[in-house]
Structures are given as C-alpha cells and as structure tokens.
C-alpha cells in the first residue's frame, strides 16, 4: 500500500473512488469538480492525499483553502490525514463520524477547543422517490432559481443561519465569506428561493452538485416564517429541478437534535444512512 500526496494526474483515480462512495464524499467530489487537484488559496482548492492499492485509491482526504479537512479513508484515515495536513493549520474536520474523530486524534488536535462538535444524521434520497408536498390551503407558493438581485437578502439569511447553527460570531470576515458563498451559489444556479404571495420565505442551495447527485445545504427559513412547511417546499422544488436535469440521488446531513428538519426531510422521502461529523475549532 502507498499513501502520498496527489497530483493532477491522479484525478481519474480519485474521481473513481469518490463516485463509488457518493453519500460520504459529495463535498470532496464537488470541490474536485470545481477546481481540480490544485493546492492553492482560492475557493475549492486544496491539498489532496490518498491511500492506494496498486493504482486504485482506497481512501482520500483534502485540506482545503479554508483550513477544513474533508475525508473518507476507511481503515487509513490517520495516515492519509497526516499527509494531507502536513504542517498546516486545521480549522475544521468533516467526514464520517468515527473517521473524523480518529483523524482529530491522529493529528494531535484532541485538546483544541471546538466551537462546534456535531454528530449529524447522514440522509439519502433516490430522486425517483421524491415526495412532492402540497401547499397549505391559504398559501400561494412559487419557486425559482435565485438571481443576483437576491444576493443581499440571501446573504442576510446566510449570516443568521451560520450564527444559529454553526455558532459563528459575527465579524467582517464571516460576513464577507457568507456573501461570497451566496454569490458562488447564485452564479452557479445552485441557490433557490420559495415565495408566498410574492414574498421570499425560505431558501436552500446545493453545496455540491454533480451530474448524477447533489448535496443539499443552507436550508433556511427565517424564524418568523417557520412551522408553515416552507422548507419542505423549497427543497422539493430544488430537487425536482435537478431530477429533471438528470440527477438521480440527493444527499444531506442534518443536526440529530433538529427534529423539525428531520421531519421535513423524511416527508420528502429521505432516509437515515449513517452519521457525519462537523468539527469546527474555536481557535
């Protein structure tokens, strides 16, 4: 077995490995599709490492431009993570739950304070099984892909969501990053809005999108519009949109303490297939 850093020539082998583990690797797949194997400081770029058996990859990890280590390396997570990280700073670890904890230990990060340690529920949906929700009797719902005119509102929503769900403290840097994320999703046609009688009430995006699969994220309904099934409707619209374009699978992970979100996703047809970690360091 060989464990080493990857070069652009390794992209086909990496793509083959990730495609065989769709549910666990959508973030890796999405970043690879956007930026290739490029160790740089631009969005989606990162330093990739992998374990090989012969010419076949059996585990991989990447330390990305933002300091997040994303991994799926069953049986080899410690060695692959150490090579991907080297002497660089790690701001977060994302991946299957136990692998992420093993990587944290292998990297000597067990004593670093975490601002978020979330064991998320990993869920999957074959899009042929998508269940379309019916609007409530008084609702006049419309759904659309977001445009540049929506960026200001969606950036405000993104700020509120990261503060509520990820424990972010508002700062100029976090506000810039959130707006950049929204602009990227809008530019790629991956940000969606639900309106009720013409008023925006809920949104979602794809934080990874491949021809065969999407990973849902950034699902947000402002507090004043909750408990009206708006999130269910905006997600259903987004998934139906990509199903018609040829995608066959949707993936997401959600906080195991968020019963309302779990109810929403189960109603659409999602099922629990595993556990996923979000470990974000505070310092």
Q: Where are the domains of the chain?
A: 2-112, 125-274
Task: Name the more confident of 25 and 134.
Answer: 25
2-112 belongs to CATH 3.40.630: yes
If you average pLDDT over residues 136-155, what whole number do you get? 94
How far apart CA 30 and CA 26 sit, in angstroms, is 6
201 confidence band (pLDDT: 50, 70, 90): very high
Q: 239-276: per-residue pLDDT in tens?
A: 999 999 999 999 999 999 999 999 999 999 999 999 99
The reply to whether domains 2-112 and 125-274 share a CATH topology is: yes
Q: What are phi and psi of 42, to 5 degrees?
A: -95, 155
Cα dist. 280→51, 62, 118 in Å?
A: 25, 16, 9
Q: What pLDDT is stored for residue 30 in this prediction? A: 95
Give 123's strand partners. 252, 272
Task: Give the separation between CA 279 and CA 91, rounded to whole angstroms.
Answer: 9
Measure the CA–CA gap between 51 and 54, rounded to whole angstroms. 10
CATH topology of domain 125-274: Aminopeptidase (3.40.630)
Sign for the CA dihedral angle at 181, 184, 190, 192 comes to: positive
Residue 67 region by backbone torsions, left for phi larger than 0, else alpha for psi between -120 and 50, else beta = left
User: Is residue 174 very low, low, confident or very high in pLDDT (cuts 50, 70, 90)?
Assistant: confident
- Over the chain, what is the mean pLDDT? 95
Which sign does the torsion angle of CA 159, 164, 166, 168 carry? positive
In the predicted structure, residue 88 carries a pLDDT above the cut 80: yes
Please give the pLDDT value at position 165.
81
pLDDT of residue 70: 98
Under DSSP, is residue 15 helix (H, G, I), strand (E, B) or coil? helix
- CA 70 to CA 68: how far, in whole Å? 6
Total residue count of the chain as it appears in this document: 283
pLDDT at 166 over 80: no
Q: Is the Cβ–Cβ distance between 115 and 96 less than 8 Å?
A: no
Q: How do strand 68-72 and strand 92-96 relate by DSSP bridges?
A: parallel
Supply the pTM of this predicted model. Answer: 0.92
Is the pLDDT assigned to residue 65 strictly greater than 90?
yes
Cite the DSSP H helix spans in 53-171.
77-85, 97-106, 151-165
SS3 74: coil
Dist CA 209 CA 216 (whole Å): 9
Residue 114 token pair:
């975490």
pLDDT band at 173; cut points 50, 70, 90: confident
Taking the C-alpha atoms of residue 220 and residue 136, their distance in angstroms, rounded to an integer, is 19
């Amino acid at each position: 077995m060989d464990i080493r850093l990857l070069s652009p020539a390794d992209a086909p082998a990496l793509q083959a490995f990730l495609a065989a583990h769709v549910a666990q690797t959508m973030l890796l797949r999405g970043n690879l599709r956007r930026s290739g194997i490029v160790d740089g400081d631009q969005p989606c770029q990162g330093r990739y490492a992998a374990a090989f058996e012969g010419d076949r990859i059996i585990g991989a990890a990447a330390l990305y431009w933002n300091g997040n280590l994303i991994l799926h390396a069953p049986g080899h997570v410690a060695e692959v993570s150490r090579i991907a990280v080297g002497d660089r700073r790690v701001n977060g670890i994302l991946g299957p739950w136990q692998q992420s904890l093993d990587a944290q230990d292998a990297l000597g990060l067990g004593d670093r304070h975490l601002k978020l340690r979330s064991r998320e529920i990993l869920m999957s949906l074959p899009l042929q099984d998508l269940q379309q929700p019916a609007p409530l009797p008084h609702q006049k719902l419309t759904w659309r892909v977001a445009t540049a005119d929506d960026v200001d509102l969606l950036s405000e929503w993104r700020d509120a969501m990261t503060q509520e769900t990820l424990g972010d403290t508002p700062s100029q840097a976090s506000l810039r990053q959130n707006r950049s994320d929204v602009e990227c999703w809008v530019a790629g046609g991956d940000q969606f809005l639900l309106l009720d009688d013409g008023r925006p009430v809920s949104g979602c995006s794809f934080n990874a999108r491949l021809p065969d699969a999407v990973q849902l994220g950034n699902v947000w309904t402002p507090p004043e519009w909750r408990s009206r099934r708006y999130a269910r409707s905006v997600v259903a619209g987004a998934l139906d949109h990509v199903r018609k374009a040829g995608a066959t699978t949707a993936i997401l992970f959600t906080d195991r303490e968020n019963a309302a979100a779990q109810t929403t996703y189960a109603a659409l047809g999602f099922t629990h297939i595993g556990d996923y970690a979000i470990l974000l360091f505070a310092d």
